[in-house]
């Protein structure tokens, strides 16, 4: 009887690494294993493993016109800021909006510092006491929203219904998916483990946050000066400034998501056969993202902005009518999972959107329910912080300043929470890819299969 065992995914991954190691600028020198031809099923398995794109100096760029469009829009924004700063008139009465924004700058700076402190505390609790913290968070969120409703009932008015609705929605969803709660915690625990193994991702998050804080510090005074314009251009300029502000954050967040996804894919499929230090891997994949995926990131963030912004600014009925006529293709293109797949496989966004829709677990109840509950748990701290900062700012500085404060809380806390969430997205897509190309066993990551539930 033959004692030959069937090849495992790790064998296929090792074969891929050995076949590419001679061209790798990052891997250390290894002994020659000989010119042994791999079995046919190893070759089939190797074709389904995402490539280590940082091993090749790729110069191509997907969806390049959208990167050019974003660069032009950003250049126009900076030029307009400069011209407006040099030519704005100050000899006429100063509008109340301008005074409100300028007087609220110390508060917004304090909110930024507070949001950074909350995000650091959140990360420490995740790394030190993950399971107790998440179970406590599940109970604490409704109480936090209730306190927010009580404290901000005068300033919010009818807007009080929104946090009240979120409170009841949270209780309903947690109760309905209570059986998936343990798996959701396991998924976050796996994401934290990957974060610790690839801790250089914290540097990417810090760099993105630093660029955004510097851009915001420049944008807020320029946005306030827009309302000094006496030629009737205040409203269109304010709209343009707001769109470019949100698009810029979308691009920065997309760069972080694409880099994180590529790093997680490398960890998931190649951690056993690649001895490259994680810091060097993160640096190389960050460079690859800027060189090859910037157009895809700009395309994805623009679609997300155009499809989600109407739901925030248009009346509810009109927004739902617009959503009814929105093609499904655009909805799939604007999905963050499409950008994750594009970063893992290094494909254009259109190809990634079609492939993402065909992944096995995206329409299955068991792993997908755990994934969605996991995302909701990660969303809790971010959303609660943003709502609290918005309510506090609206009380003394008005609605516009409250919206700016909410965006600061959302984005700053998201720089840390978002990293864990991006890791969860990437692990889920890697798990789905692994499940499609694997007929049995635990694939490339036993912990991922245990957390998501495999085929059970």
* Residue 184 located in a structural domain: yes
Helices (H), 95-160: 96-103, 105-128, 130-151, 153-156
* Residue 7 located in a structural domain: no
Closest CA to 393 of 147, 101, 149, 160: 101
* Residue 84 located in a structural domain: yes
Instruction: Give yes or no for a contact between 205 and 418, defined as CB atoms under 8 angstroms apart.
Output: yes
* Residue 45 located in a structural domain: no
* Residue 70 located in a structural domain: yes
* Tokens, residue 301: 């963030």
* Residue 140 located in a structural domain: yes
* Residue 337 located in a structural domain: yes
* Tokens, residue 16: 């891929």
Q: How far apart are CA 119 and CA 450, in angstroms?
A: 29
* Residue 364 located in a structural domain: yes
What is the pLDDT at residue 39? 44
Locus of tokens 């396991």: 186
Domain containing 247 equals 62-452
* Total domains present in the chain: 1
Instruction: Give yes or no for a contact between 77 and 247, defined as CB atoms under 8 angstroms apart.
Output: no
CB proximity list for 78: less than 8 A, separation 6 or greater: none
Kindly list the averaged pLDDT for each block of 10 residues, start to end, along the chain of length 456. 41 42 36 39 49 52 88 92 72 60 72 79 80 82 75 64 79 82 86 88 88 86 75 79 90 93 91 78 89 90 83 57 60 84 89 81 65 84 75 68 76 79 91 74 78 65
């Amino acid at each position: 009887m033959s004692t030959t065992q069937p090849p495992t995914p790790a064998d296929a991954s090792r074969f891929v690494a050995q076949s590419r190691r001679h061209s790798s600028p990052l891997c250390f020198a290894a002994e020659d294993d000989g010119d042994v031809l791999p079995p046919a099923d190893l070759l089939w398995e190797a074709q389904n493993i995402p490539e280590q794109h940082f091993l090749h100096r790729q110069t191509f760029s997907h969806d390049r016109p959208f990167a050019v469009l974003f660069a032009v829009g950003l250049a126009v924004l900076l030029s307009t800021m400069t011209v407006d700063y040099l030519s704005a008139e100050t000899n006429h009465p100063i509008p109340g909006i301008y005074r409100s924004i300028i007087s609220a700058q110390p508060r917004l700076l304090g909110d930024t510092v507070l949001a950074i402190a909350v995000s650091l505390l959140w990360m420490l609790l995740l790394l030190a006491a993950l399971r107790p913290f998440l179970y406590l968070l599940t109970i604490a969120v409704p109480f936090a929203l209730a306190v927010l409703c009580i404290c901000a009932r005068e300033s919010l008015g009818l807007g009080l219904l929104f946090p009240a609705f979120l409170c009841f929605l949270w209780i309903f969803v947690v109760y309905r998916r209570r059986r998936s709660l343990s798996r959701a915690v396991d998924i976050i625990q796996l994401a934290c483990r990957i974060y610790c193994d690839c801790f250089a991702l914290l540097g990417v998050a810090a760099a993105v946050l630093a660029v955004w804080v510097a851009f915001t510090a420049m944008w807020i005074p320029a946005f306030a000066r827009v309302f000094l314009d006496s030629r009737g251009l205040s409203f269109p300029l304010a709209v343009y400034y707001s769109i470019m502000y949100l698009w810029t954050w979308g691009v920065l967040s997309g760069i972080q998501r694409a880099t994180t996804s590529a790093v997680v894919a490398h960890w998931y499929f190649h951690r056993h056969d690649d001895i490259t230090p994680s810091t060097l891997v993160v640096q190389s994949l960050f460079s690859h993202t800027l060189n090859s995926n910037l157009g895809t990131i700009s395309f994805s963030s623009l679609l997300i902005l155009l499809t989600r912004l109407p739901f925030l600014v248009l009346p509810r009925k009109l927004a739902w009518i617009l959503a009814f006529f929105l093609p499904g293709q655009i909805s799939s293109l604007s999905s963050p999972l499409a950008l994750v797949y594009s970063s893992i496989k290094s494909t254009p966004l259109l190809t990634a959107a079609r492939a993402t829709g065909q992944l096995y677990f995206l329409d299955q109840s068991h792993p997908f329910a755990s994934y969605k509950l996991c995302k909701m748990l990660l969303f809790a701290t971010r959303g609660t912080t943003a709502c609290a900062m918005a309510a506090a700012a609206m009380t003394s500085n008005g609605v516009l300043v409250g919206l700016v404060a909410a965006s600061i809380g959302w984005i700053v806390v998201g720089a840390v929470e978002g990293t864990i969430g991006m890791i969860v997205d990437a692990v889920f897509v890697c798990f789905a890819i692994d499940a499609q190309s694997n007929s049995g066993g635990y694939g490339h990551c036993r912990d991922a299969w245990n957390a998501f539930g495999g085929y059970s």
